[in-house]
Amino acid sequence: MSGQKILKLTHFAGTVWLIVCLGYLLVSVLRQLGIKWWVIFSLSGHSVLIILLLISLYLFLIFQGIKRTTISAEHPLTSSGPYLLLYDISPLLGAFSAGIGMMGTNQISQLLLGIALGTMGATFLSWIIIDPAIGMIEILLPQSRKHRIARLNKTKYLRQKMQKSREQLLENVLLKEKTNKQRWQEELMSQAKRLAEITTRDQIDFQAECEIAQIGLQSWQIGGLSCMQNLHDMAMAECKKKKQNEAVIDHISILWDGIGKWQSPALSEMINFNNKTTSIQK
């Protein structure tokens, strides 16, 4: 059995024993106050489910590899195996010490009460007072401080490096997008003017519709959705120039619907409206 698994099992045993002792002390106090057994059982019955859930969660955390996040270079004592073992068995050591100290007691209830109090005292002393104090002392050691400063500086450097990498990546994407738009502005101006010429006619026949769709397909093959959007904006600007600020019907978006990832805004709004209406009816 590995050392880590032994520590897990020991810690689990110590914690379970601590819970048992806490429950015994609580029942003892209630009995001393004159509360009947049936009242105690009725109160504890409501908390059985919560206790089982907490124990299940604890078992999951323990056996899924949870452990104290101590760095050996900064905490040479509290991260060592013997110290962790002593830390985990402190409730059991408290019970054992209290049991030895009360060996001459004839009353079982007094013996159990002493063992429970010894467990609580040893656990509180070890887990709440001694362990944090030792951890604070370890942090103040010169070697620990040196390692901590180096670790924080390294973390800061890696964070800054990652941030610069993200900024550089974003800058490259924006630069590439800007370069593509400039190139498309030159290459696709003739197609934009052709689209404006076709869509500003009084009537658009089937052949003209096919030509519009063909131009959209070519722009998709050149640069995908971004290229299509750029060509569409250029064509609509040319349409407004020809119409002299008159209302312009966006035939291009409708005829391009289904090419690549292009979707007509009017059709997409209609689909969303139909979906909402269907969901409301259901």
- Sign of dihedral through CA atoms 77, 80, 82, 88? positive
Higher pLDDT among residues 245 and 231, named by residue: 231
User: Would residue 281 count as lying in a domain?
Assistant: no
Q: Is the pLDDT of residue 231 over 80?
A: yes
C-alpha triplet 77, 79, 83: angle, nearest 5°: 65
The amino acid present at 227, given as its one-letter code, is: C
Task: Identify whether residues 99 and 197 lie together within a single domain.
Answer: no
User: Would residue 272 count as lying in a domain?
Assistant: no
| Domain boundary pick from 140, 169, 196 | 140
Q: Is residue 226 within 8 Å of residue 180, measured between CB atoms?
A: yes
What is the average pLDDT across 15-36? 77
Task: Identify whether residues 132 and 201 lie together within a single domain.
Answer: no
pLDDT, tens only, 152-201:
999 999 999 999 999 999 999 888 888 877 777 777 888 888 888 888 88
Task: Identify whether residues 105 and 203 lie together within a single domain.
Answer: no
Query: Which residue in this structure is represented by tokens 């500003």?
Result: 200
Rounded Cα–Cα distance for residues 230 and 216 (Å): 11
User: Would residue 171 count as lying in a domain?
Assistant: no
Q: Is the pLDDT of residue 55 over 70?
A: no
User: Would residue 213 count as lying in a domain?
Assistant: yes
User: Would residue 276 count as lying in a domain?
Assistant: no
| Domain boundary pick from 140, 155, 173 | 140
Q: Is the pLDDT of residue 19 over 60?
A: yes
Q: Is residue 198 within 8 Å of residue 208, measured between CB atoms?
A: yes
pTM of the model: 0.52
Task: Identify whether residues 61 and 134 lie together within a single domain.
Answer: yes
User: Would residue 68 count as lying in a domain?
Assistant: yes
Task: Identify whether residues 40 and 114 lie together within a single domain.
Answer: yes
Task: Identify whether residues 49 and 125 lie together within a single domain.
Answer: yes
pLDDT, tens only, 73-110:
888 888 888 888 888 888 899 999 888 888 877 788 88
Task: Identify whether residues 15 and 108 lie together within a single domain.
Answer: yes
Task: Identify whether residues 207 and 127 lie together within a single domain.
Answer: no
Higher pLDDT among residues 239 and 165, named by residue: 165
pLDDT at 102: 82
User: Would residue 176 count as lying in a domain?
Assistant: no
How many C-beta atoms surround the C-beta of residue 253 within 10 A? 19
Task: Identify whether residues 11 and 127 lie together within a single domain.
Answer: yes
Tell the burial category of 48 from Cβ atoms under 10 Å away from its Cβ (0-12, 13-18, 19+). exposed
Task: Identify whether residues 62 and 128 lie together within a single domain.
Answer: yes
Q: Is the pLDDT of residue 116 over 70?
A: yes
pLDDT at 65: 44
What is the average pLDDT across 210-237? 87
Task: Identify whether residues 63 and 119 lie together within a single domain.
Answer: yes
| Domain boundary pick from 82, 107, 140 | 140
User: Would residue 45 count as lying in a domain?
Assistant: yes
Rg for the chain, CA atoms, rounded: 38
Task: Identify whether residues 89 and 192 lie together within a single domain.
Answer: no
Cα-Cα end-to-end distance for the chain: 59
Q: Please state which of the ranges 23-32, 75-84, 140-149, 174-183 shows the lowest mean pLDDT.
A: 23-32
Mean pLDDT of the chain: 78
Quote the number of domains for the chain. Answer: 2
Q: Please state which of the ranges 63-67, 91-95, 249-253 shows the lowest mean pLDDT.
A: 63-67
pLDDT at 272: 45
Q: Is the pLDDT of residue 46 over 70?
A: no
Domain that holds residue 224: 188-266
pLDDT at 271: 41
